[in-house]
Amino acid sequence: MVTTHNPPDSLDRPEAKTRGGDGRTLRERRRRATSGEGRLGALLVSPTLLVLAVVVLYPTIVALKDSFYGTPGLDPQTGFVRDHDPFVGADNYTAIFGAAGDRFWNAFWNTTFLTVTTVTLETVLGIAMALIMHRALRGRAVVRASILVPWAIPTAVTGLLWRWIFNSDGVANALIGRQILWTTEGFHAKVAVIVADVWKTAPFIGLLVLAGLQVISKEVYEAARMDGAGALRQFWSITLPLVKPALLVAVLFRTLDALRMFDLPYILIGAQKTSVETLSMLAQDQAANVRFGPAAAYAVILFVYVFLIALAFVRLLGADVVPRRHKEVAA
């Protein structure tokens, strides 16, 4: 006679496998723990969110509101000077893309050209600087310090320094043996701004890429060398893919910073120079002439431009610096 043994009914029920001593399922306990972590996280980031709301969100809302108001002047109905900014609706934006369209588009393309050119050159030179700083050579500390010094110099000082270099009787003309007026109108003014900006901010990308290089295990390169991979092959197949997250973050930060470029061309070349006038310089010029409504409109347009570039960068290139929480898959 064959004896059969039936397991308890509780083992046939899948939910019993996940129940603890307190009667809650594993999913319930995990959800409970996650909610506690979420409340703690919200509590920890609340001071930062408060600061961002004060220094970022509030000025953005005020700028958006001011962009719908005009400049105080004579009231055509009464003939008296207005004591407040008149509400003009979207007239400031209409004027930017209409009557003032030539100046706006010139500043827009200057901003885009300077951003693309400087960030591209800074990325290439930054990677080269990171590789040099990462090498185990004698005097590496001195080499790292000398590479990072330009980035530590304030932008205003950098602008004055390169203004002296690009002076008519400065070092630049002495080296090339020609008399070029770098700080006047023309394409050479763009070249001067690009050279100065690359000299200053390429070490920033180099520093972030260096941080990515230092976390790569040496065993990976040793295995590649044993497989016959040369230096160039190691760079393209190992170094570049592994430092991609740090490199993308560096390029993203530099792109956003270059889009709002103001102080370097303003000090190096000067104000109201159409060759290097950026959107930030255009907004500052309007504000300096007490035209706060148009200045706010330019600032809002620049904000939207920067936001769209950042969004496209994150979506298309995969530079997602915020880790995504993986969704639980129901059994």
Domain boundaries, the chain: 26-56, 108-290
Q: Where are the alpha helices (DSSP H) in the chain?
A: 9-12, 26-52, 58-66, 91-96, 101-134, 140-152, 155-165, 171-176, 187-213, 218-226, 231-234, 240-242, 244-259, 263-268, 279-288, 292-317
Using CA of residue 67, residue 53, residue 282, residue 122, what is the dihedral sign?
A: negative
Burial of 132 (0-12, 13-18, 19+ CB in 10 A): middle
The neighbour count for residue 293, using CB atoms within 10 Å, is 23
User: In this structure, which amino acid lies at residue 3?
Assistant: T
Which residue, 151, 159, 149, is CA-closest to 193?
Answer: 159
Which residue, 240, 201, 206, is CA-closest to 220?
Answer: 240
Average pLDDT over residues 34-46: 77
Residue 291 clears pLDDT 90, i.e. is over it? no
Tell me, which fold does domain 108-290 have in CATH?
MetI-like fold (1.10.3720)
How far apart are the two ends of the chain, measured CA to CA in Å? 39
Q: What is the pLDDT of residues 163-220, one digit of tens each?
A: 999 998 889 999 988 888 888 888 999 999 999 999 999 999 999 999 988 888 888 8
Better-predicted residue by pLDDT, 217 or 121: 121
Using CA of residue 266, residue 272, residue 275, residue 278, what is the dihedral sign?
A: positive
- Residue 17 has a pLDDT of 46
Phi-psi domain of 318 (left: phi exceeds 0; alpha: psi -120 through 50; beta: other): left
**3-state SS class at 11:** helix
User: In this structure, which amino acid lies at residue 293?
Assistant: G
Considering the chain, what is the average pLDDT of its residues?
Answer: 83
